[in-house]
Structure 1
Amino acid sequence: MSVPVDPRSKEDGFEHHDAKVKVLLMIGFGLVIALAVSLAAVGLLLSYYHTTPEPPVSGLERDRIIPPEPRLETQALGNGPEVILEAQQRLSRYAWVDREAGVARIPLQRARVLLLERGWPAPVEASGEQAVRLQQAKQRAEPR
């Protein structure tokens, strides 16, 4: 089955019914105009924002507020060896935690030996005016 060909198209060497050039040109010009309008609008907005003054700075924004301890470290890698050294010293030395209650900090190795010798202490109920912490400290201090 053959398709009928327009005699004018056959003479010109191309099909006249495929696309309407006027419509395509109008759409192209419309897109160029829309692009130009949007670029002009962006330019106007940018010039407006560059010329408007910023609002005045409040007193809270001016003052530097330092948060309470503990603060985030600003140089974590720089302070790392100091933190590790301090932790190792705390774990390897004797010191008082609460002298009145009789609670002391002992080296980690010594605490392991005592825990193996004496076992884990049982919880103690508070009796009278003595604090639970004091009773537990006394219980731990008693040899078995």
Structure 2
Amino acid sequence: MSVPVDPRSKDDGFEHHDANVKGLLAVGFGLLATLAVSLTAVAVLISYYDSTPEPPVTALERDRIIPPAPRLETSSRGNGQQVIREAEQRLNRYAWIDREAGVARIPLPRARILLLERGWPSPVEASGGRDVRLQQTKQRAQP
């Protein structure tokens, strides 16, 4: 299927009816004018907001209100280091968990040594519950 070609375009070697240059120039200048008006409007708004004084601060805005705990972290690196330090102290110190029941927390290296010496504790019987475990703990604690 062939497209009819203008004989003048065929003689000159290029198409004379490609685009309407006047229309394209009008659209281009219209876009530039719109851009210039927009930039001018933004500049006027910025200068207006810079020259407008801020409203006075109320007493409620001046008071510093501290929300109840838990609060958001202000320094995640600092708080993270503190949490790690506290956890390491908890893992490396002796402390009572339940003094009445005779349950204590011991440092990890000491717990590993005791586990190697005494072996893994036997499973708790289903009927006895906590009493059986307490008796096993007291028996192992005696030298």
Confirm or deny that 1:25 pairs with 2:25: yes
Work out the CA distance in 2 between the residues paired with 1:95 and 1:113. Answer: 18
Instruction: Indicate the RMSD between aligned Cα atoms, in angstroms.
Output: 4.7
One-letter amino acid of the counterpart of residue 39, structure 1: L
Match of 2:103 in 1: 103
Equivalent residues in 2 for 1:78-97 (5 A)?
A: 80=81, 83-84=84-85, 87=88, 90-97=90-97
Report 1:33-44 matches (<5 A): 33-44=33-44
> Are 1:5 and 2:8 counterparts?
yes
- The letter of the residue matching 1:137 is L
- In the superposition, relative to structure 1, how do residues 32 and 60 fare at CA in structure 2: closer, same or farther (>3 Å)? closer
**Cα separation, partners in 2 of 1:46 and 1:114, compared to 1, 3 Å:** same
Question: What is the TM-score with the length of structure 1 in the denominator?
Answer: 0.54
Q: Secondary structure of the equivalent of 1:142? A: helix
Instruction: Name the SS of the counterpart of 2:66 in structure 1.
Output: coil
Instruction: Give yes or no for the alignment of 1:123 onto 2:124.
Output: yes
* Equivalent in the alignment of 1:136: 133
- Equivalent residue letter for 2:34: A
1:104 alignment partner, SS class = strand
Instruction: Tell me the residue number matched to 2:60.
Output: 59
Cα 1:75–1:36, aligned 2, differ >3 Å: closer, same or farther?
A: closer
Structure 1 regions of 5+ residues with no counterpart?
Answer: none
SS at match of 1:96: strand
Distance in 1 between residues matched to 2:90 and 2:113, nearest whole Å: 18
Instruction: Say if 1:95 and 1:104, in contact at 8 Å, map to a contact too.
Output: yes
Check whether the contact 1:121–1:140 (CA below 8 A) recurs between aligned residues.
no
Q: CA deviation at 1:34?
A: 1.3
After superposition, the Cα gap between the structure-2 partners of 1:22 and 1:91, relative to the gap in structure 1 and judged at 3 Å, is closer
1:90, distance to aligned residue in structure 2 (A): 4.2
Uncovered stretches (5+) of structure 2, i.e. residues with no partner: none
State TM-score, norm by structure 2.
0.55
User: Structure with the greater relative contact order (CA < 8 A, sep ≥ 6): 1 or 2?
Assistant: 1
CA distance 1:55–1:18, shift in 2 (3 Å): farther
